[in-house]
Amino acid sequence: MKFLILFLIVILAFLLRFYQLSTNPPGLNLDEVAIGYNAYSILRTGRDEYGKFLPIVFRSHDDYKPPLYIYLTAPSIAVFGVNEFAVRFPAALFGTLSVLAVFFLSRQLFSSSKLALLSSYFLAISPWHLQFTRAAFETGVTVFATAVGVFLFLRGLTKKSSASLILASLAFGLELYLYQAAKVFIPLLVIALLALNLQKIINQKKRVLVFVFIFATFFLPVAFLSTTRAGQLRFQGTSIFKEYLPYAHAQSWREADQLSGSTFAASLFHPRFLTYLPSVISGYLSHYDLTFLFVGDHGPPNNYVPGAVGLLYPWEILAVIPGLYFLARRFRPASLVVFAWFLLAPLPASVTSGVPSATRTALSLPIYQIITALAIVVLLNIIRNHSRFWANASSLAFLLLTVPIVTYYLHMMFFHAPRDYSDIWFYGYKNVVAETARLAPNYRRVVVSTALKQPQNFFAFFLRYDPLTYLRVDGGTVSGGFKENRNHFAKFNFTSSDWETLLKEKSLLFVGLVDDFPDSITPIKTFHYLNGKPSVMIVGT
């Protein structure tokens, strides 16, 4: 019976992630088209858009993306073609499989099929998880890999299985090449798992040494890459350590102490390594903010569905807090593993700007769902020990509370969010590319504004432009800078040049945002977002 229920939960997860996958979200964002075209280029040429052969870091928009999601997308494109579905397929597939993985993980942790089924169900309907498994976010695959890795590690120690430990090391190791935050989180989680299972490890030294060796084989190249220019650029682009104000304050205090003759006080109370500590602590704690978790008014709308719910359902707050209490009371290795995961997940995001971040802390999934399931199972058992009637009544009350909220969220996600936030998802760019390509033969040159944000990727992807030609004839991408003027292919030039000057040229086709053009211009065509707001104009001379 339990496996029938699990099967139905997985089917539900599949439907929620694959229904309207190509059209909701209503367009591919700039990272998705970059992933898609680089995957297409890898498939056809073995090289990325810059011509680099099988890279372990993709330069892309000069943000140096981890490689694994792009490599997973290449076979998807081979099967489904160069389209939206193919780009999002890996996220949706592994998002669905995560629900299955969480069942086995939860059962391994707490030896309870009821708790495991509830954990899987809560992840299947989770707004946080759905948001990142219906678009090409690496986080969806990362959650799957983490759940599988922890399950196999614990199973390997319990069953004394070398195969499970080897597979766990592979899951953890590959995860380092999936998502930036995993490069910090996974090594910390592995250390925590080793520390919390020290007694079992002592009795299985050889197996664990093999596990550590394989993981280190994956980790060391990542550690080295983090010291290179590519690794540093990515970190500097998101790090709070680039912010000058905390440093300026500390420097002024040091100078004041030194002027008063207290050099020792300057060194003792204002050392450089403590300058950003308050910001780090504040950033870390912000990820446990109840408004962030349950209301969802932090971050861009592509991280949650505004007006619906937060990252977690409102009713989950009634379970998470008692769930944490039950974990603390049941002081055993399983509880400590959950606590370690819960406490470590926000650490990578705590040193970045734009906190709290739903994306960078999505590694907290599926811990919130497991904690919620634990609370419900324990509470129902307590009630059942006193009265089976009240236990059944409580289950019914819980169902009556949750179903309307979940239904409301799904209604908002499928019916209102696509229209209200189509601009966040670059809706209409596919039609812009098609119309521009139709008109292009009638003009000497086509100029596309870089204000469209990485338009070379949108045009190359939606035109299915041959990657071999792109690299050999057009020279590939010059730079991923948002104001780069040198990117081009075929008749298409992508520039932020002065439009008033360009409009004086003859036989030119211009593509730009509505704000790029003066009001006096009569466009060939104006495109609109789903909410009716004008977005892109095509103008010819």
Determine, yes or no, domain membership for 393. Answer: yes
Determine, yes or no, domain membership for 267. Answer: no
Domain limit, last residue, from 396, 420, 444: 420
Determine, yes or no, domain membership for 199. Answer: yes
Q: What is the pLDDT of residues 251-301, one digit of tens each?
A: 555 556 556 666 665 555 656 656 677 788 888 999 999 989 988 766 677
Q: What is the mean pLDDT of residues 508-535?
A: 91
Determine, yes or no, domain membership for 121. Answer: yes
Q: Are residues 399 and 525 in the same domain?
A: no
Q: Are residues 382 and 475 in the same domain?
A: no
Q: Are residues 436 and 308 in the same domain?
A: no
Q: What is the pLDDT of residues 198-253, one digit of tens each?
A: 989 998 999 999 999 999 999 999 999 888 776 666 666 666 665 555 555 555 55
Q: Are residues 292 and 388 in the same domain?
A: yes
Q: What is the pLDDT of residues 67-123, one digit of tens each?
A: 999 999 999 999 999 999 999 999 999 999 999 999 999 999 999 999 999 999 999
Q: Are residues 193 and 112 in the same domain?
A: yes
> How would you classify residue 271: left for phi > 0, otherwise alpha for psi between -120 and 50, otherwise beta?
beta
Q: What is the pLDDT of residue 515?
A: 86
Reduced to 3 states, what is the DSSP secondary structure of residue 371?
Answer: helix
Q: Are residues 7 and 103 in the same domain?
A: yes
Q: What is the mean pLDDT of residues 297-315?
A: 77
Q: What is the pTM of this model?
A: 0.92
Q: Are residues 454 and 528 in the same domain?
A: yes
Q: What is the pLDDT of residue 243?
A: 58
| Burial environment of residue 103 by CB neighbours within 10 A (0 to 12, 13 to 18, 19 or more) | buried
In a 13 Å sphere around the CA of 322, the CA atoms on its Cβ side amount to 14
Determine, yes or no, domain membership for 276. Answer: no
Determine, yes or no, domain membership for 58. Answer: no
Please list, in sequence order, all residues whose beta carbon lies within 8 angstroms of the beta carbon of residue 499, skipping any fewer than 6 positions away: 449, 510, 512, 516, 517
Q: What is the pLDDT of residue 260?
A: 67
Q: Are residues 13 and 112 in the same domain?
A: yes
Q: What is the mean pLDDT of residues 450-475?
A: 96
Domain tally, the chain: 2
Q: Are residues 290 and 414 in the same domain?
A: yes
Phi/psi at 447 (5° precision) = -120, 130
Determine, yes or no, domain membership for 36. Answer: no
| % the chain with pLDDT above 90 | 69
Nearest 10 degrees: Cα torsion 367, 368, 374, 375: 160
Domain limit, last residue, from 394, 420, 446: 420
Domain residues for the domain of 202 are: 2-22+83-227+281-420
Domain limit, last residue, from 365, 388, 420: 420
